[in-house]
């Protein structure tokens, strides 16, 4: 029945509120009942005292019997109160009068036992609910107090009023209380409905949107109206949907880029082989075309290796193999391997190692990959006869490596994009040597995986500086 969060919230809160309201209603009714009985008793006692005063005048003969009757009727008219005035005559005899509304005269009633009035004769007030020893047919609220004449107790005065009359007032009040309870319940149900909707709506929307996302529709978002936890969750959900959308579009561009990068060398290799098979080329040109085809296959090989590297690093499948090694030595070896290219462009290499030996803790193969990529870029993009400065230094537990060239530089609006996969500013700028645009994205992943940082600083027309940090071996 209560399967949805909405109905569960509604039901739980409503039951709690209803229980609270009913308990409050019951307590209030009980308290009211006590209060009303108490005030009625006080009222009756006050009237009884009043009657006592009149009776003492009557006792002295100053007022007539009719006057007494009038007074008593005045008291009893409204609330059906019966008045008993009981006088002690001699030791045991009791003279009793009863004034009841509508009765023509005071009359004698059945004698009391001593027990019933003994308390009053001792000077006490009594309050009591009952039929007063079956003398009444309905329950009565009875108060009694001593009849005092000239400061002496001469008997008792009893006032009896039907409980029914009090109940009538009470029922009216109970009606008001339960009307208020009903009104509160209805009002809280409306508030609850609104509040439960507010909590559950973003959740059901999230449910709907996540189903849409699972189907491949990344454009649906949740409308966030409140700033509480569900609102925040909805915001995070929207952010997640946004990043999923980005990942999806990155995946699409990635696939498009890869296919494009694979297709162009394959098309040219195919063209050359076809040409050779069809004898389209002169025999002396065949070797030239074959070596171009070989170059293309090498490029393909490099591209595929780089892609594999990147996916391996990104998936975190291969853990870093951290050892301590000497970074300057690695840089020297990599430079020697690139001597041919450096000499071909008549470049000057300036080495500036602050310490002769700089030990670092890192994965040596991965860091070699970083240096190779940065060095290759510096060589590839440097101007003819330009200078390449390589510097290492140590500061606060870090070893920094800087590779600086005098190439064309990178425009500031492009700086952020150079780390993206396949991003190349201008495919023609590297003069002959075609890259894939994967080098720097691999560099960045490797450095990040080491928990280190890489910075780039470039001035168009002057050159580019790459600096990265490594953990020094202490
Ligand atoms: N030292 C540099 N000077 C000027 N531009 C640079 C430099 N290094 C990188 N770039 C720019 O950033 C782009 C991305 O560099 P990245 O190393 O990722 O790719 P690539 O060198 O073109 O190809 P790959 O490294 O995969 O062979 C380059 O195409 C180039 O436009
Ligand atoms: Mg590169």
Ligand 1 mutation target, pool 439, 443, 465, most atoms within 8 A of CB: 439
The verdict on 34 and 77 lying in the same domain is yes
Q: Residues near ligand 1 with C-beta < 6 Å?
A: 373, 377-378, 381, 405, 407-408, 410, 418, 423-425, 435-441, 464
Q: Assess if residue 110 is contained within a domain.
A: yes
Could you tell me the pTM of the whole model? Answer: 0.58
Q: Which residue's alpha carbon is nearest to atom 13 within ligand 1?
A: 424
Q: Residue 183: count other Cβ atoms within 10 Å of its Cβ.
A: 11
Strands, DSSP E only, in 61-197? 82-89, 93-99, 126-130, 140-149, 152-162
CATH number for the domain that contains residue 300: 1.10.287.130
The CA 404 to ligand 2 mean position distance, Å, reads 14
The verdict on 123 and 104 lying in the same domain is yes
Q: Assess if residue 341 is contained within a domain.
A: yes
Q: How far is 119 from 8, CA to CA, in rounded Å?
A: 61
The CA 258 to ligand 1 mean position distance, Å, reads 17
Q: Assess if residue 143 is contained within a domain.
A: yes
The CA 438 to ligand 1 mean position distance, Å, reads 8
* pLDDT one-digit tens code per residue, 318-356: 789 999 999 999 999 999 999 999 999 999 999 999 999
Atom of ligand 1 nearest to the CA of 425: 31
* pLDDT one-digit tens code per residue, 277-326: 998 888 888 888 889 899 889 989 988 998 888 888 888 777 899 999 99
* pLDDT one-digit tens code per residue, 210-231: 999 899 888 888 888 878 888 8
Task: Please provide the average confidence, as pLDDT, over all residues in the chain.
Answer: 86
The verdict on 287 and 384 lying in the same domain is no
Alpha carbon distance, N-terminus to C-terminus of the chain: 67
Q: What is the pLDDT of residue 100?
A: 46
The verdict on 333 and 247 lying in the same domain is no
The CA 103 to ligand 1 mean position distance, Å, reads 120
Ligand 1 mutation target, pool 301, 409, 413, 440, most atoms within 8 A of CB: 440
Q: How would residue 381 be classed by pLDDT, with cut points 50, 70 and 90? A: very high
CATH number for the domain that contains residue 408: 3.30.565.10
Residue 395 has pLDDT above 60, yes or no: yes
Q: What is the pLDDT of residue 323?
A: 96
Q: Assess if residue 339 is contained within a domain.
A: yes
The verdict on 51 and 75 lying in the same domain is yes
> Of 377, 364, 367, 358, whose CA–CA distance to 447 is shortest?
367
Domain end marker among 150, 168, 186: 168
The CA 434 to ligand 1 mean position distance, Å, reads 10
Q: Assess if residue 184 is contained within a domain.
A: no
Ligand nearest to the Cα of 306, by number: 1
Residue 138 has pLDDT above 90, yes or no: no
Q: How would residue 110 be classed by pLDDT, with cut points 50, 70 and 90? A: very low
Atom of ligand 1 nearest to the CA of 441: 18
Q: Which run of H or E residues covers position 398?
A: strand 398-404
Q: Taking residues 156-166, what's their average pLDDT?
A: 86
CATH number for the domain that contains residue 98: 3.30.450.20
Domain end marker among 277, 312, 347: 312
Q: Assess if residue 208 is contained within a domain.
A: no
Q: What is the pLDDT of residue 93?
A: 46
Q: What is the pLDDT of residue 464?
A: 97
* pLDDT one-digit tens code per residue, 233-269: 889 999 999 999 988 888 888 888 888 888 888 998 9
Q: Strands 348-353, 387-395: parallel, antiparallel or unpaired by DSSP?
A: parallel
Q: Assess if residue 353 is contained within a domain.
A: yes
Vertex 53 angle, CA 99 and 77, to 5°: 35
Q: How would residue 430 be classed by pLDDT, with cut points 50, 70 and 90? A: low
User: What is the residue range of 382's domain?
Assistant: 320-472
Provide the 3-class DSSP secondary structure of residue 221.
coil
* pLDDT one-digit tens code per residue, 16-75: 999 999 999 999 999 999 999 999 999 999 988 988 998 888 888 898 888 888 887 777
The verdict on 308 and 389 lying in the same domain is no
Domain end marker among 168, 201, 219: 168
Ligand nearest to the Cα of 376, by number: 2
Q: Assess if residue 249 is contained within a domain.
A: yes
The verdict on 23 and 133 lying in the same domain is yes
């Amino acid at each position: 029945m209560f399967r949805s969060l909405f109905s569960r919230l509604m039901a739980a809160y409503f039951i709690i509120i209803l229980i609270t309201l009913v308990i409050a209603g019951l307590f209030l009714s009980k308290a009211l009942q006590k209060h009303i009985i108490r005030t009625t008793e006080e009222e009756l006692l006050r009237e009884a005292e009043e009657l006592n005063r009149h009776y003492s005048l009557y006792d002295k003969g100053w007022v007539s019997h009719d006057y007494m009757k009038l007074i008593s009727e005045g008291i009893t008219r409204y609330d059906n109160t019966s008045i008993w005035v009981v006088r002690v005559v001699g030791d045991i005899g009791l003279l009793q009068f009863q004034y009841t509304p509508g009765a023509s005269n005071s009359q004698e009633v059945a004698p009391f036992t001593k027990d019933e009035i003994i308390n009053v004769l001792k000077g006490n007030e009594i309050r009591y609910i009952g039929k007063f020893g079956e003398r009444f047919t309905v329950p009565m609220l009875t108060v009694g107090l001593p009849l005092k004449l000239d400061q002496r107790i001469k008997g008792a005065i009893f006032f009896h009023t039907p409980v029914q009359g009090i109940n009538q007032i009470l029922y009216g009040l109970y009606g008001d209380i339960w009307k208020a309870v009903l009104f509160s319940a209805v009002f809280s149900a409306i508030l609850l409905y609104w509040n439960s909707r507010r909590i559950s709506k973003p959740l059901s929307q999230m449910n709907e949107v996540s189903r849409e996302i699972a189907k491949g529709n990344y454009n649906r978002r949740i409308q966030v109206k409140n700033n509480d936890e569900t609102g925040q969750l909805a915001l995070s959900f929207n952010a997640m949907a946004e990043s999923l959308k980005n990942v999806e579009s990155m995946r699409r561009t990635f696939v498009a880029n890869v296919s494009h990068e694979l297709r162009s060398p394959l098309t040219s290799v195919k063209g050359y082989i076809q040409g050779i098979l069809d004898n389209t080329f002169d025999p002396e040109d065949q070797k030239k075309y074959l070596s171009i085809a070989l170059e293309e296959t090498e490029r393909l090989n490099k591209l595929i290796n780089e892609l594999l590297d990147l996916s391996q690093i990104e998936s975190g499948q291969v853990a870093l193999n951290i050892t301590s090694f000497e970074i300057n030595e690695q840089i020297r070896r990599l430079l020697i391997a690139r001597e041919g290219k450096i000499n071909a462009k008549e470049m000057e290499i300036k080495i500036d190692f602050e310490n002769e030996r700089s030990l670092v803790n890192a994965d040596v193969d991965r860091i070699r990959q970083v240096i190779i990529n940065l060095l290759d870029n510096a060589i590839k993009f440097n101007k003819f006869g330009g200078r390449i400065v390589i510097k290492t230094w140590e500061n606060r537990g870090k070893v920094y490596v800087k590779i600086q060239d005098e190439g064309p530089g990178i425009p500031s609006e492009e700086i952020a994009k150079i780390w993206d996969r396949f991003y190349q500013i201008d495919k023609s700028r590297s003069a002959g040597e075609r890259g894939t645009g994967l080098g720097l994205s691999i560099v960045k992943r490797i450095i990040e995986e080491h928990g280190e940082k890489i910075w780039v600083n470039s001035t168009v027309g002057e050159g580019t500086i790459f600096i990265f940090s490594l953990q020094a071996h202490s």
